[in-house]
Amino acid sequence: MSKLTRPIVLALAAMALHGQTIGPRLPGGKPDFNGVWQAIGPAHYDIERHMARHSLMLRDGPHGPLPAVQTLALGAVGAVPGGMGIVEGGKIPYKPEALKVREENRRHWIERDPEVKCYLPGIPRATYMPFPFEIVQNSQQFFFAYEFAGAHRDVLFKDPGPAETDGWMGQAVGRWEGDTLVIDNSGFNDQTWFDRAGNHHSNQLRVVERLKLLGPNHIQYEATITDPETFTAPWKIALPLYRRMEKDARIMDFKCVEFVEELMFGEYRRNPLKR
């Protein structure tokens, strides 16, 4: 072995020893996920593969649903861009009745979407919304802080048993499988959606996430979704996450409640505002 090739061989051997992960590590040897991350793409509109369309479809015409007047007034801003989707196989395996609910949700998106009301986004939706999030990690703890609505969650590495109550962000229990962080999420309510297309679930939702560094600035994110009340079988999503590279990258303060107060409570004003 020449002096030139020896460092390369040693580096490749080290990569194999650490499960092929390329990226920074903490002093204890675990992959270092610390940083500000963000998904790129239209998954927050619709996680299934889809063509471009109007965002509001409220009434039927001879050739299918017709766009609402509000969407037409917004022009391109009120449209949903096409996307290849992040659902493995392209389609979510809904039960027939649950699919009907999804179609109703889609028609009445602006009225029903919990994002519009600034409710907490839930998992996995928080991951691919058009907002960055931050991971704070040390050798024993793993914490997610999301820009949207100030959402956050703490990954527990000691399973406390079933969640005491159902919540918006669920209960996250983590474990390491080599260099992959596996997070088992349960204890959800039935109020969150997967996207703006009305894809929904029940309170039996379970989400098993897998995060693996593909390099210093990329995470491969996968999640397996199980909900026997809503779906005929488990299904999976996958997408890359990208490190925000700005010199001063950080999550901003987006406490969106103040922007929806009039929408949510304006009718209770003594003198309601003119709309």
Domains of the chain (ranges, CATH numbers):
32-48+86-268 (2.40.128.20), 50-83 (no CATH)
How far CA 137 is from CA of 7, 27, 36, 200, 269, in Å, comes to 30, 12, 12, 30, 45
**Given CA atoms 104, 110, 114, 117 in this order, what sign does their dihedral have?**
negative
What integer pLDDT is reported at residue 238 of this predicted model?
98
pTM as predicted: 0.88
Closest to 148 in 3D by CA, of 134, 136, 170, 131? 131
Greatest alpha-carbon pair distance for the chain in Å reads: 84
Q: State CA 2 to chain mean position distance.
A: 48
Tokens of 256: 């969106």
Residue 18, pLDDT score: 47
First to last CA, the chain: 78
DSSP 13: H
CA-based nearest residue to 119, from 259, 252, 273, 269: 259
CA distance 165 to 170: 9
> What integer pLDDT is reported at residue 21 of this predicted model?
53
> Would you write out the chain's pLDDT as a tens digit for each of its 275 residues?
555 556 555 554 555 444 455 789 999 899 999 999 999 999 999 999 999 988 887 667 776 677 777 777 778 888 899 999 999 999 999 999 999 999 999 999 999 999 999 999 999 999 999 999 999 999 889 999 999 999 999 999 999 999 999 999 999 999 999 999 999 999 999 999 999 999 999 999 999 999 999 999 999 999 999 999 999 999 999 999 999 999 999 999 998 988 998 888 888 888 877 76
249: Cβ contacts below 8 Å, ≥ 6 apart = 35, 36, 132, 243
Residue of 207, 211, 235 lying closest to 221 (CA atoms): 211
Q: How big is the chain by its Cα radius of gyration, in Å?
A: 21
d(CA 6, CA 272) in angstroms, rounded, equals 76
